[in-house]
Amino acid sequence: MPREFRPYEPDQGLLLPPSLRDWLPEGHLAFFISDAIDAMDLSAFEARYRDEGPGNQAFDPRMMVKVLVYAYATGTFSSRKVAAKLDEDVAFRVLAADNFPAHRTISDFRQRHLPEFQQLFVQLVQIAREVGLVKLGTVAVDGSKLTANASKHKAMSYGRMQQEEKRLRQEIRDLTARARKTDAQEDKRYGKDRRGDELPAERVRREDRLETIRAARQRLKARQREADRCQGREPGDQDRTGKPGKSFKRRFGEPEEKAQENFTDPDSRIMKRGASGYAQCYNVQIAVDEAAQIIVAAGVTQSASDVHQLEPLLEQIQETTGQYPDKTLADAGYRSESNLQMLEEKGIEGFVAMGRKPNGESKPPDPENEATCRMAKKMKTPSAQNHYRKRKYLGEPPFAWIKSVMGFRRFSVRGVEKVTAEWSLACLAANLRRMNHLMEWT
């Protein structure tokens, strides 16, 4: 007897108008994100439209926020791909309620409201605190390198900049002399009534390139001057000696030959990403609460080092929740005498790794660094080691969720301020995914 199949009529029209919400299963992430955004204060988004005067009707900010947050939570970061999802994906259509903003509208909305997304991240942490998902008993801090929206091939070293400036200036002089000779010949042949004052396209292109390199070189010098001041140097000290019997290797504010600047995103820096080699990156930071692995603080730095990011993360937690965590876990990248003193002054019990030598032995602390000596002694106790082991399943998994599950490995915007805001948006989406997952198991 032949097998019977279920009815399949692709051309059959629907007898009643359907609800798109019926096409998603109960407990779908889109429903959770929609409810969470509805519970938040979006007045900051709406305020930007109040003073614009009459014009075309804008899309509802609440709808745009839901679509963008869900897009980040599900690994769709391109505005063109988000616009395509609004046509093809049921969850996107449910959130948009049959609105279809163009990709340019989506991109402009994200760029325009990046600071407001940072505020949403703070609001969600406060909500998680109120419902008991954030306890601030133990917090783990960690950092990771994330690729910038820039190519390392669009960078140039300070030494190369000087060479290129010299070459371009010579080429501009040659082109100018050639143009003058050509003008004189044309004046002699056609008379001086002929215009002939147009700048050669090759000269214009070289002048633009020269100006770009000059601006990049000035940024490098300004950054080096600031770094020299932080190290205690002053203008005009290049003739003095640095260490006893030795002179400074370079003049004040003069970058090293290998110092690089990127032309597409000058705020990004060349950083090493483990086995992946070097790339234009930002160093992103998070602090994760132990209770439900909610990200309670997020930040971005242009430095490859984590050492100066511990206090800003803790201050952000205090500003958001009104208190510091009881305990803080951090790897050796955050170890410094000033950081350990800061933890003691704030009354935070710290568990910070001391680091190891290449042969695997622990590094002995400097006896003059009293806070470091106390931490080294404490980290040898079994109790401290048990606490520190929590860092592996607290600080590191959220990066795996964001990079591998959500697929967020590269920023879409440029500039450290915009990048910081986009990182907050990614952490907001990761927190919503985590909270939805926890609700499925309760």
First to last CA, the chain: 47
Structure tokens at 101: 């903003």
pLDDT over 90, % of the chain:
52
Instruction: Look at residue 358 in the predicted model and tell me its pLDDT.
Output: 59
- pLDDT-derived band at 220, boundaries 50, 70, 90: low
Res. 111: pLDDT tops 80: yes
Spatial contact of 283 and 411, defined as CB atoms under 8 Å apart: no
Compute, in degrees rounded to 10, the torsion defined by CA atoms 418, 421, 426, 430: 170
- Whole-angstrom distance, CA of residue 440 vs CA of residue 442: 6
Structure tokens at 375: 């931490």
Instruction: Look at residue 23 in the predicted model and tell me its pLDDT.
Output: 85
- pLDDT (average), residues 68-88: 96
Spatial contact of 290 and 390, defined as CB atoms under 8 Å apart: yes
CATH class held by domain 129-151+269-417: alpha beta
Domain spans in the chain, listed from the N-terminal domain onward = 20-112, 129-151+269-417, 155-262
Instruction: Look at residue 264 in the predicted model and tell me its pLDDT.
Output: 83
Strands 278-289 and 269-272: antiparallel
Residue-averaged pLDDT of the chain = 84
Q: What share of the chain is helix, strand, coil (3-state, %, to 5)?
A: 50, 10, 35
Each residue of 272-329: pLDDT tens digit? 887 778 888 999 999 999 999 999 999 999 999 999 999 999 999 999 999 999 999 9
Instruction: Look at residue 334 in the predicted model and tell me its pLDDT.
Output: 94
Instruction: Look at residue 16 in the predicted model and tell me its pLDDT.
Output: 64
- pLDDT (average), residues 256-268: 78
- pLDDT-derived band at 435, boundaries 50, 70, 90: very high
Sign of CA dihedral 298, 394, 361, 145: negative
Res. 136: pLDDT tops 90: yes
